[in-house]
């Protein structure tokens, strides 16, 4: 029987929802309220909407002297520019203390000023965008900080100068990830407006962090979609494993796996209904951006639906 508004179950659910809303409000930095306009070339959207990674000829302007401690995520941040991207960019090595050769290569490129070949998961997300407009193709000056206002990241880096560092895509020991309830409440509720022009598309949204969320996925696809640099699949997002006391916190979200990474190798043998414990980072789903703009004539309201996002799976947990 359906519980009434005055039932104990309803009261418990209301208290839980209010507590979660308060927790999220306290966790969001002030910058999250800043509006950001991202203008992308339509050709770029179509090229990368079904790709896991990007190859970049990357000029390193400023890199961290050493990786972040594990308590602050363990990444090495590298600010720079690449003609393939044409946006302010920060590239990040996951678990950088495990990849000393890669760190040395980054610092050598920083010292020499010579571009370096990077491959990694492309990521568009308004975590450190400030209140600036980010327009693809505008002239960029060298950056004097590892964290300039940006919406584009190569995160995580998977190859430097042709040498893979895929083993870095693993759990970050000592780092506290965002829990599924808190993270996906924010992802699912983020506002967005999409404006399509003849050659560019503008995405208007707001700042949001919540990197490195820990959650479970329940695979929906009967057949995974293999792409040139990985695979994608649709899954429900769960806040735990099994059936009892487990909630679905997001439905039918696309999950992106980088070819040859531990998560990608692990998911290959799974099927519809199987579950997997993972760590993921969010990015704007360009395939949905493309779909909404192409179908807006028959359904214009979709241009103001919530922010389309997908998750890059960067670690699988036992």
Model confidence over 120-168: pLDDT tens digits? Answer: 999 999 987 666 799 999 999 999 999 999 999 999 999 999 999 999 9
Report how far residue 318's alpha carbon sits from residue 196's, in angstroms, rounded to the nearest whole number. 43
- Of the candidates 193, 182, 205, 211, which has an alpha carbon nearest to the alpha carbon of residue 282? 211
Report how far residue 237's alpha carbon sits from residue 278's, in angstroms, rounded to the nearest whole number. 10
For the entire predicted model, the pTM comes to 0.88
Report how far residue 222's alpha carbon sits from residue 203's, in angstroms, rounded to the nearest whole number. 32
Write the CATH number of the domain with boundaries 33-166. Answer: 2.40.50
User: Could you tell me the two tokens for 186?
Assistant: 């924010």
163-164 and 76-81: which strand pairing?
Answer: unpaired
User: Could you tell me the two tokens for 254?
Assistant: 């696309």
Report how far residue 125's alpha carbon sits from residue 206's, in angstroms, rounded to the nearest whole number. 10
What percentage of the chain has pLDDT greater than the value 70? 88
CATH 2.40.50.140 correct for 178-195+206-316: yes
Report how far residue 37's alpha carbon sits from residue 203's, in angstroms, rounded to the nearest whole number. 6
Domain boundaries defined on the chain: 33-166, 178-195+206-316
Residue 169: DSSP 8-state: -
Model confidence over 13-58: pLDDT tens digits? Answer: 333 444 444 444 444 443 345 689 999 999 999 999 999 999 999 9
CA dihedral 56, 152, 294, 292 (to 10 degrees): 140
From residue 59, alpha-carbon distances to 64, 78, 143, 287, 295 in Å are 15, 10, 10, 28, 38
Strands (E), the chain: 35-41, 53-63, 76-81, 89-93, 116-128, 133-135, 150-160, 163-164, 178-179, 193-196, 200-206, 213-219, 225-227, 230-238, 248-258, 275-284, 309-316
- Of the candidates 42, 39, 48, which has an alpha carbon nearest to the alpha carbon of residue 198? 42
Report how far residue 90's alpha carbon sits from residue 155's, in angstroms, rounded to the nearest whole number. 8
- Of the candidates 74, 312, 76, which has an alpha carbon nearest to the alpha carbon of residue 213? 312
Confidence of residue 318 (pLDDT cuts 50, 70, 90): confident
Report how far residue 175's alpha carbon sits from residue 315's, in angstroms, rounded to the nearest whole number. 13
Distance of CA 161 to the CA centre of its chain: 23
Total Cβ atoms within 10 A of residue 25? 9
- What per-residue confidence (pLDDT) applies to 28? 40
């Amino acid at each position: 029987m359906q519980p009434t508004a005055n039932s104990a179950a309803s009261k418990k659910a209301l208290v839980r929802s209010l507590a979660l809303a308060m927790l999220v409000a306290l966790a969001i930095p002030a910058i999250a309220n800043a509006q950001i306009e991202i203008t992308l070339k339509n050709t770029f959207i179509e090229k990368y909407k079904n790709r896991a990674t990007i190859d970049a000829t990357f000029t390193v302007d400023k890199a961290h002297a050493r990786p972040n401690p594990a308590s602050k995520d363990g990444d090495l941040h590298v600010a720079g520019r690449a003609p393939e991207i044409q946006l302010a960019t920060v590239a990040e090595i996951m678990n950088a203390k495990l990849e000393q050769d890669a760190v040395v290569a980054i610092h050598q490129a920083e010292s020499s000023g010579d571009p370096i070949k990077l491959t990694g998961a492309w990521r568009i997300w308004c975590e450190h965008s400030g209140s600036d407009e980010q327009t693809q193709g505008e002239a960029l000056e060298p950056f004097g900080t590892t964290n300039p206002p940006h919406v584009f990241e190569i995160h995580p880096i998977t190859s430097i100068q042709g040498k893979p560092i895929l083993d870095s895509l693993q759990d970050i020991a000592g780092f506290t990830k965002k829990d599924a309830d808190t993270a996906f409440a924010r992802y699912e509720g983020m506002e967005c407006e999409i404006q399509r022009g003849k050659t560019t598309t503008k995405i208007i949204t707001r700042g949001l962090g919540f990197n490195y969320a820990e959650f479970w996925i329940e695979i929906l696809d009967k057949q995974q979609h293999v792409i040139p640099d990985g695979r994608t699949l649709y899954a429900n997002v769960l806040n735990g494993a099994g059936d009892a006391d487990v909630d679905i916190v997001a439905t039918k979200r696309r999950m992106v796996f980088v070819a040859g990474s531990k998560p990608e190798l692990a998911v290959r043998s799974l099927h519809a209904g199987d579950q997997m414990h993972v760590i993921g980072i969010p990015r704007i789903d360009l395939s949905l951006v493309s779909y909404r703009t192409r179908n807006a004539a028959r359904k214009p309201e979709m241009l103001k639906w919530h922010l389309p996002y997908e998750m890059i799976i960067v670690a699988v947990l036992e």
